[in-house]
Amino acid sequence: MVDVLIRMKLAIIRNSMTGGRAALMITGGVLGLLAAATTVWLSLVNPSGPGVVPDLLATTYVVWLLGWVVGPVWGASSVLRVEHFALLPMPRRQLAIGLLGAAFVGVTTAVTALAFLSLVVYGIRQGVLPALVSVPAAALQLVLVVLLSRASHSVFGLIARGRLGSAFTGLLLAAFLVLTQSGWIVVVVIAYSEVLSTGFPSGYSAVVRAIPSGWGVAAVESARHGQWWRAVGMLAAMVALSGLLLLGWSRTLGSLRHGRTTIRGSSHAPAATSPVLAGRTAAVVRKELRTWWRDPARTQILAIVLGWALGTALLPLTLGWTAVLPWAGPGMALMAATVACNLYAPDGTALWLTLQTGTEHEDLRGRQWAYLLVFGSLTVAVTVGFTLWSGYTWAWPWVLALVPALLGGGVGLALYTSVVALAPGPDAHKRPDNPLEHGETPWQSQVLFWVGLLPAVPAVMTVVFGTVYDNAALLWAGGPVGLATGVFLGWWLGRVAIGRLRAKGPEMLYQMRTGRAAKTVAVAAPKVDVPKAKLSRRESLVAGLSWILGPLCLIPQGVIPVVILLAGAEQKVWFLALYMPDPLRWPVAILMVLLGCFLLHQAIRLTVKSSRPAWPGK
């Protein structure tokens, strides 16, 4: 059973592999390997404090566990779907064991297994008996996280059927994002505090060992202290929890097609008659606003954007730091474009109605207005509220410049990306078991987060000059400049997207229908569009890797270290250049900037190539 499912999984992955997916898989694998190597390294260090290594390990295992639990909520659909096996006359538990076995085949599991080797390394350093305990402990730990991940997938699928549950999963994702991006603060705090030499507080040690991810560490420690009953008890507890999870998970596999939470529509509303509300664009806006209100998938988008912006601004308050508060609004505008960058895919093949009525222009503009009404009103409210709360009057020119530029740029970029880089997912009525299933957009989001900052550049430069030259007129001119940039970009990118929608509507529809990109083969008709140049598998792999690594090299590994070097600060965090010996710091930072520029140039060149006609001039 297990080997059949593994072969099936590998066949599906092989058949759906594209250059872009391969690039993502490789990038993910490399980042995972780095994380695993760091975890193993933690088991080899020799800090002076008592019990620091097991505490550090237990802490890291909590992070791995969180990653496994949250991962399935972020991801789209699993490769092997339970529905595939719904009609097989097979006990649910057997199916669960089979699916579990197949779940072990994957980059993520391999990387995690490598990371959990750190427990064995730690055990070996403690002696023969702890080493003997550490091997089953590490294996059980791996089984436990994979099972917890499967179980959480089922649980989240269950809760997400209604809007409240979707909002909850969205907030959970936002919290995970905030914690990940703020993780380096925790690292800095640990590194600079006395913890490494005095040991963690005992309460902290107890908590990280009480979480199932810490039971393995506790078992190895008990073996070292000769507390045999405790070591065996810990291992037995891990087995018992795994059994319980397997049992619970296999129960959820049995009950397919749970009722979705029914969301009700309006009743007997007549058609609007006033000229403003009866137009085509107004009709689309009304349809979109209803969808934003009723669709759990959109509730999740809203929750992620709101949760991320508020979380990022509010978390520093725990350190008494209020300087981030005014930036919650601009952050929200930026994150909206990053998350809502695939707005056509959730409606799927309903695009045929737009094509049939020839309302591509009204459809796109209507979606833009709805986006502005939803995210714009939230952004403005949060900006005004939080800036007033912070009491920083100097922040006003900045936020007034940033908000319109980021919102306008965002509404342009989000819709442009939705059309140009469509990532189709299953149609709404074909995903009754999990309304949150969607097309995967990791590239789009990664690119948009950085590109989404660009619309603010002119306005920010105006404010910067105003500040540097102490010129009040320039300082306050940022707002109008931002507004002008925002309005122009929203209008212009929308116009480009409309042109694309008109020219490529049938191809987009085909892509949503089949999940594959459409190819129009020009047989004889000169009217037929010239096909686009296809990138080879290697080229699209290079393009994908360049889009991911380019911005990473340029900004966080290039520009930021340069700024830190200029400022003469000492924080190394994860900046490669700062770990170098002194004479190499500047060259490495500059090399990173150059490498980032080169990779971005490659990425843009290949992307432009893929959207040009194969035979120019024909």
Partner 1 sequence: MVNGSEAMPDSIRKATGSHQSAQEDGPPALLLAGLTKIFGGNPAVDRVDLTVPAGSFFGLVGPNGAGKTTALSMAVGLLRPDAGSSSVFGVDMWSDPERAKALIGVLPDSLALPERLTGRELLTFLGQLRGLDPAAITERTRELLDVMDLEHAERTLVVDYSTGMRKKIGLATALLHAPRLLVLDEPFEAVDPVSAMALKAILARFVADGGSVVLSSHVMALVEQLCDTVAIMVKGKVVAAGPLDEVRGRGSLEETFVRLAGDDVRATEGLSWLTS
Binding partner 1 (rule: CB under 8 A), the pick from 22, 143, 355, 530 is 355
Specify the residue, 390 or 520, whose C-beta has the smaller distance to partner 1. Answer: 520
Contacts of 233 by beta carbon, 8 Å cutoff, 6+ apart: none
Q: What is the dihedral of CA 100, 101, 105, 109, to 10 degrees?
A: 50
* Position among 21, 125, 260, 572 found at the interface with partner 1 (CB under 8 A): 260
User: Binding of partner 1 at residue 46 (CB under 8 A)?
Assistant: no
Closest CA to 423 of 83, 21, 107: 21
Number of residues counted as binding partner 1 (CB under 8 A): 55
Q: Does 267 bind partner 1 (CB under 8 A)?
A: yes
Q: Give the shortest CB-276-to-partner 1 separation in angstroms.
A: 12
Binding region for partner 1 (CB under 8 A) out of 50-58, 93-101, 167-175, 506-514: 506-514
Shortest separation between residue 292's beta carbon and partner 1, angstroms: 9
CB of 12 to partner 1, least distance (A): 19
Place of tokens 């039971």: 215
Encoding tokens for residue 79?
Answer: 């490769």
Q: Say whether residue 164 binds partner 1 (CB under 8 A).
A: no
| Binding status of residue 279 toward partner 1 by CB under 8 A | yes
C-alpha 603 chain-centroid distance: 21
Do the Cβ atoms of 220 and 130 come closer than 8 Å?
A: yes
Q: Which of 92, 93, 230, 287 binds partner 1 (CB under 8 A)?
A: 287
566 in contact with partner 1 (CB under 8 A): no
The only residue of 18, 109, 227, 291 in contact with partner 1, by rule CB under 8 A: 291
Interface with partner 1, residue 428, by CB under 8 A: yes
Helices 128-159 and 163-192 pack at an angle, to 10 degrees, of: 150
Given 350, 454, 464, 530, the residue binding partner 1 (CB under 8 A): 350
**Is residue 282 a contact point for partner 1 (CB under 8 A)?**
yes
Position 523 contacts partner 1 (CB under 8 A):
yes
Cβ proximity to partner 1: between 10 and 522 the closer is 522
Residue with smaller CB distance to partner 1, 48 or 273: 273
165 binds partner 1 (CB under 8 A): no
Binding segment for partner 1 among 174-182, 350-358, 408-416, 550-558 (CB under 8 A)?
A: 350-358
Among 221, 362, 437, 440, which residue interacts with partner 1 (rule: CB under 8 A)?
362
The continuous run of DSSP H or E covering 507 comes out as: helix 472-514
Classified as helix, coil or strand, 525 is: coil
Rounded CA-CA distance 204/209 in Å is 9
- Contact flag: residue 613 with partner 1 (CB under 8 A): no
Q: Contact with partner 1 (CB under 8 A): which of 92, 93, 280, 500? A: 280
Among 125, 286, 532, 605, binds partner 1 (CB under 8 A): 286
β-partners of residue 613 are: 532
CB atoms within 10 A of CB 598: 14
Q: Which tokens in the block code for residue 64?
A: 């791995």
Task: Examine residue 283 and tell whether it contacts partner 1 (CB under 8 A).
Answer: yes
- Alpha-carbon distances of 428 from 55, 82, 209, 375, rounded to whole Å: 46, 18, 42, 23
Residue 613 backbone phi and psi in degrees, to 5: -60, 150
Burial-class residue 275 by CB neighbours within 10 Å (0-12, 13-18, 19+). Answer: exposed
Rounded to a whole number of angstroms, the distance between the first and last alpha carbons of the chain is 55
Residue 508 Cβ vs partner 1, minimum distance, rounded to whole Å? 11
Considering only 10, 487, 518, 604, the residue that binds partner 1 (CB under 8 A) is: 518
Q: Does 294 bind partner 1 (CB under 8 A)?
A: yes
Verify binding: residue 264, partner 1, rule CB under 8 A.
Answer: yes
Residue reference for tokens 């909002």: 167
Stretch that binds partner 1, among 117-125, 234-242, 281-289, 314-322 (CB under 8 A): 281-289
CB of 417 to partner 1, least distance (A): 21
Closer residue to partner 1, CB minimum distance, 297 or 378: 297
From the list 428, 443, 309, the residue with the least C-alpha distance to 25 is: 443
Report how far residue 261's alpha carbon sits from residue 243's, in angstroms, rounded to the nearest whole number.
31
The piece of 46-54, 198-206, 422-430, 489-497 that touches partner 1 (CB under 8 A) is: 422-430
Looking only at residues 205 through 244 of this chain, which bind partner 1 when binding is defined by CB under 8 A?
none
Give the interface segment with partner 1, choosing from 22-30, 275-283, 333-341, 464-472 (CB under 8 A): 275-283
The number of beta carbons lying within 10 Å of the beta carbon of residue 577 is 23
Identify the three-state secondary structure at position 613.
Answer: strand
Using rule CB under 8 A, residue 520 touches partner 1: yes
**Are the C-beta atoms of residues 481 and 459 closer than 8 Å to each other?**
yes
Q: Is 276 in the site for partner 1 (CB under 8 A)?
A: no
Q: At closest approach, how far in Å is the CB of 515 from partner 1?
A: 13
- How far are the Cα atoms of 15, 83, 350, 424, 595 from residue 9, in angstroms, in the given order? 10, 14, 31, 21, 37
Helix H, strand E, coil C: the string for 48-104 is: CCCCHHHHHHHHHHHHHHHHHHHHHHHCCCCCCCHHHHCCCCCCHHHHHHHHHHHHC
Give residues in contact with partner 1 (CB under 8 A): 260, 262-273, 278-280, 282-284, 286-287, 290-291, 294-295, 347-350, 352-353, 355-359, 362, 427-429, 506-507, 509-510, 513, 518, 520-525, 527-529
